[in-house]
């Protein structure tokens, strides 16, 4: 039996240091790049189910029907959240959501969101596991290389900073491998049997976290186990049955509760939440499984369809892009069969088993037809993170152990791989930071507006996030601001169900601007009125005319210089500065208020400016002529109802001449300046 490295106070301190540093690196990514935001409906579905678990439930109730017996749940459809048979639940395996449940309790009682800490903790634990795995079978040097390549790896850091279940799953798969190899080394001793049971426990939790991911590891482990039994001269039926039963007993400690979970949620122990959500979802079957009206049939020729190869090959290419250290695996065969390292030779079968697990995962996702990765690298392959990181570190370390020339290659490869990893990390971080900032536009807009007792209908996406990813409400729909699908403008049923709430339409604005929340109402005929203020003319008698005008230093509308009421928008400053400010260049102006349109019909607005200008009516952009240019005239037409409408004009002057003019043409009139009597400097917060 191989002598184990002793656990000393020094090794404990080293382990603690690795864990703490790893946690804070991941925490930095989670806060500054991922912004503690579930960046997909998949990720939010785990949080949703964690909230169910935190309340001691497997599922919640869908939204109740209206008094008129209308189904209102379609307003709150969120992809990956099941709604069938009145049950409201996340469709993914329960393991990860169980770990998130304490964070859901903390949010419920203390209004602090700590969901991100779960992946941060398990990501840090993965780094620590890698170090001890390498140290146990090879050397501390291999362990330190594994730590280095992991903490510089965008695939690892962004996945660990996210809300995906892959981080937890990869840890438990890695732990199961580590315990399994240790148990086999114990040659059937009492300690070895304990480790085998614990390995089964870890494998079982990985199974209830992601059903498919642990399965490809079984064949390499079985071959390794049988080979070692033969080498140890313990190959007999009694040993096989006893030790496999121990492993399975550990796994069933989690698989049996999973069957109970299935029974309670779906009514069938073998029907998962995933299948209950959509029995015919192509994502629940292998590519050669074809659904017909007579049941499932099998067409094995589909395995070779180019479409699925087109999914897998790009993911493999992504692997070597997001985890550049994997190129070191090309050195592994040379080290395995030509090297003289005693530990490598002793553990050659272990190395081969780990190496075999990589194509095993790739092949099972080829057969499964997994889609191309859409976030943070090839996340469907993340299950083999511990094996591929360990083997990459081992390959590099074996170079270091050879002659001076080989050591030079080691330092060169390490420098090149580190540089490429850092470059990829910076580029990916910048991309996802901007993507997530725009995807949170809806929630930032709602927070900025300080809405209370309201419903917001999603008339547009938020950044690149679709409305079906955004209806994130409390389990009992009790949140102050409910977010609802627009259902093609059919708002009436929900508006009548919540007569005491205010209603808004949300419109996305790009370029880091807040979105637009437009107030909507029901008239006496239950028709939705949009873009028209529901005002009492007596209460809204306008004592002032003109528009509230704000001058800013710079072009970003942040540093206010001057505020005043101006009669309209018709000025040519030339090369001079506006009255009341000193600069003639590098300033911006914003006019806000209400415009009264006397009749129903089509109005044409004309905006002339030098430099850029934008016109908004009822918070919708009507003319966009932003940018640096000379005098340009843009126009647009739109049908408006008679009454008061919000108006805003944004203008910026960079350098040179400065001009801004606004005209309109009424349905029965000609192009003219807008009379000051039709403009009123009413602030938005005073409109209702």
Kindly write down the DSSP assignment for every residue of 398-447, as one continuous string.
HHHTS-HHHHHHHHHHHHHHHHHHHHHHHHHHHHHHHHHHHHTHHHHHHH
Mean pLDDT confidence for 339-358: 85
Bridge-partner residues for 560, per DSSP? Answer: 552
For the segment 129-183, what is each residue's pLDDT rounded down to a tens digit? Answer: 999 999 999 999 999 999 999 999 999 999 999 999 999 999 999 999 999 999 9
User: What pLDDT score was predicted for residue 172?
Assistant: 99
User: What pLDDT score was predicted for residue 535?
Assistant: 37
Is there a contact between 618 and 531 (Cβ–Cβ < 8 Å)? yes
Q: What six digits make up the tokens of 504?
A: 């808004």
For the segment 376-414, what is each residue's pLDDT rounded down to a tens digit? Answer: 988 989 999 999 999 999 999 887 766 777 788 888 989
Q: Where are the beta strands (DSSP E) in 247-330?
A: 289-292, 295-298
Q: What is the tally of structural domains in the chain?
A: 2
**442 belongs to a structural domain:** no
User: What pLDDT score was predicted for residue 367?
Assistant: 74
Q: Are residues 343 and 195 in the same domain?
A: yes
Looking at 387, 405, 425, the residue that finishes a domain is 425
For the segment 432-489, what is each residue's pLDDT rounded down to a tens digit? Answer: 999 999 999 999 999 988 888 999 999 999 999 999 999 999 999 999 999 999 998 8
Quick check: 676 pLDDT over 70? yes
User: What pLDDT score was predicted for residue 296?
Assistant: 59
Looking at 425, 454, 480, the residue that finishes a domain is 425
Domain that holds residue 631: 547-686
**221 belongs to a structural domain:** yes
**572 belongs to a structural domain:** yes
For the segment 522-574, what is each residue's pLDDT rounded down to a tens digit? Answer: 877 788 876 543 333 333 334 568 888 889 988 888 888 888 888 889 998 88
**530 belongs to a structural domain:** no
Is there a contact between 606 and 588 (Cβ–Cβ < 8 Å)? no
Mean pLDDT confidence for 275-289: 62
**609 belongs to a structural domain:** yes
User: What pLDDT score was predicted for residue 688?
Assistant: 38
**192 belongs to a structural domain:** yes
Within its chain, how far is the Cα of 539 from the centroid?
46
Mean pLDDT confidence for 16-32: 98
Any idea what the CATH number is for the domain that residue 620 is in?
3.90.182.10
**453 belongs to a structural domain:** no
Looking at 409, 425, 441, the residue that finishes a domain is 425
User: What pLDDT score was predicted for residue 381?
Assistant: 93
Q: What six digits make up the tokens of 438?
A: 């725009």
**532 belongs to a structural domain:** no
Could you tell me which of 247, 329, 362, 277 has the C-alpha nearest to residue 83? Answer: 277
Q: What six digits make up the tokens of 417?
A: 């791989």
For the segment 65-81, what is each residue's pLDDT rounded down to a tens digit? Answer: 998 999 999 999 999 99
């Amino acid at each position: 039996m191989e002598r184990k490295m002793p656990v000393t106070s020094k090794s404990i301190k080293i382990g603690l240091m690795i864990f703490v540093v790893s946690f804070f690196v991941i925490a930095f990514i989670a806060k500054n790049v991922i912004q503690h935001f579930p960046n997909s409906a998949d990720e939010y579905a785990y949080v949703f189910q964690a909230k169910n678990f935190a309340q001691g439930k497997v599922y919640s109730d869908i939204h109740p029907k209206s008094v008129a017996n209308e189904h209102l749940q379609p307003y709150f459809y969120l992809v990956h959240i099941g709604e069938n048979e009145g049950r409201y639940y996340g469709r993914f395996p329960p393991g990860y959501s169980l770990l998130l449940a304490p964070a859901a309790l903390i949010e419920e009682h203390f209004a602090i969101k700590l969901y991100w800490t779960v992946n941060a903790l398990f990501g840090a634990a993965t780094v620590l596991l890698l170090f001890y795995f390498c140290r146990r079978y090879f050397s501390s040097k291999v362990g330190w290389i594994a730590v280095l390549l992991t903490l510089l790896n965008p695939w690892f850091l962004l996945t660990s900073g996210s809300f995906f279940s892959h981080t937890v799953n990869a840890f438990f798969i890695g732990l199961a491998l580590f315990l399994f190899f240790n148990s086999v080394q114990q040659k059937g001793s009492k300690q070895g049997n304990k480790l085998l049971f614990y390995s089964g426990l870890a494998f079982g939790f990985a199974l209830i976290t992601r059903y498919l991911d642990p399965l490809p590891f079984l064949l390499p482990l079985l071959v390794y186990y049988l080979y070692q039994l033969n080498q140890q001269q313990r190959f007999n039926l009694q040993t096989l049955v006893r030790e496999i039963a121990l492993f399975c007993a550990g796994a069933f400690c989690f698989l049996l509760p999973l069957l109970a979970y299935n029974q309670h949620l779906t009514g069938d122990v073998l029907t998962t939440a995933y299948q209950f959500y959509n029995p015919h979802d192509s994502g629940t079957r292998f590519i050669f499984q074809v659904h017909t009206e007579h049941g499932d049939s099998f067409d094995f020729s589909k395995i070779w369809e180019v479409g699925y190869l087109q999914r897998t090959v790009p993911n493999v290419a992504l692997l070597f892009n997001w985890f550049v250290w994997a190129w070191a695996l090309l050195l592994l065969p040379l080290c395995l069969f030509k090297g003289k390292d005693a530990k490598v030779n002793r553990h050659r079968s272990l190395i081969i088993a780990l190496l075999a697990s990589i194509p095993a995962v790739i092949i099972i996702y080829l057969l499964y037809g997994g889609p191309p990765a859409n976030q943070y690298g090839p996340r469907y392959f993340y299950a083999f993170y511990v094996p591929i990181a360990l083997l990459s570190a081992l390959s590099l370390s074996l170079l270091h152990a050879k002659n001076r020339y080989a050591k030079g290659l080691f330092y060169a490869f390490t420098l090149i791989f580190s540089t490429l990893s850092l470059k990829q990390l910076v580029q990916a971080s910048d991309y996802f930071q901007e993507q997530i900032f725009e995807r949170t536009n809806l929630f930032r807009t709602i927070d900025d507006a300080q809405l209370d007792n309201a419903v917001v209908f999603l008339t547009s996406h938020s950044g690149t996030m679709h409305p079906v990813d955004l209806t994130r409400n409390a389990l009992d729909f009790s949140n102050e601001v409910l977010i609802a699908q627009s259902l093609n403008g059919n708002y009436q049923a929900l508006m009548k169900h919540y007569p005491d709430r205010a209603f808004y339409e949300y419109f996305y604005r790009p370029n880091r601007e807040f979105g637009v929340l437009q107030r909507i109402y029901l008239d006496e005929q239950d028709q939705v009125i949009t873009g028209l203020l529901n005002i009492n003319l007596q209460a809204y008698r306008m004592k002032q005319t003109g528009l509230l005008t704000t001058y800013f230093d710079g072009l970003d509308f942040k540093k206010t210089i001057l505020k005043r009421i101006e009669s309209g928008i018709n000025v040519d400053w030339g090369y001079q500065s506006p009255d009341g400010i000193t600069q003639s260049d590098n300033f911006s102006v914003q006019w806000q208020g209400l415009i009264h349109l006397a009749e129903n019909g089509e109005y044409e607005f004309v905006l002339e400016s030098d430099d850029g200008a934008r016109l908004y009516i009822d918070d919708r952009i009507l003319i966009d002529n932003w940018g640096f240019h000379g005098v340009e005239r843009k126009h647009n037409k739109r049908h408006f109802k008679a009454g008061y409408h919000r108006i805003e004009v944004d203008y910026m002057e960079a350098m040179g001449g400065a001009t801004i003019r606004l005209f309109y043409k009424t349905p029965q009139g000609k192009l003219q300046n807008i009379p000051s009597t039709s403009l009123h400097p009413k602030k938005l917060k005073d409109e209702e």
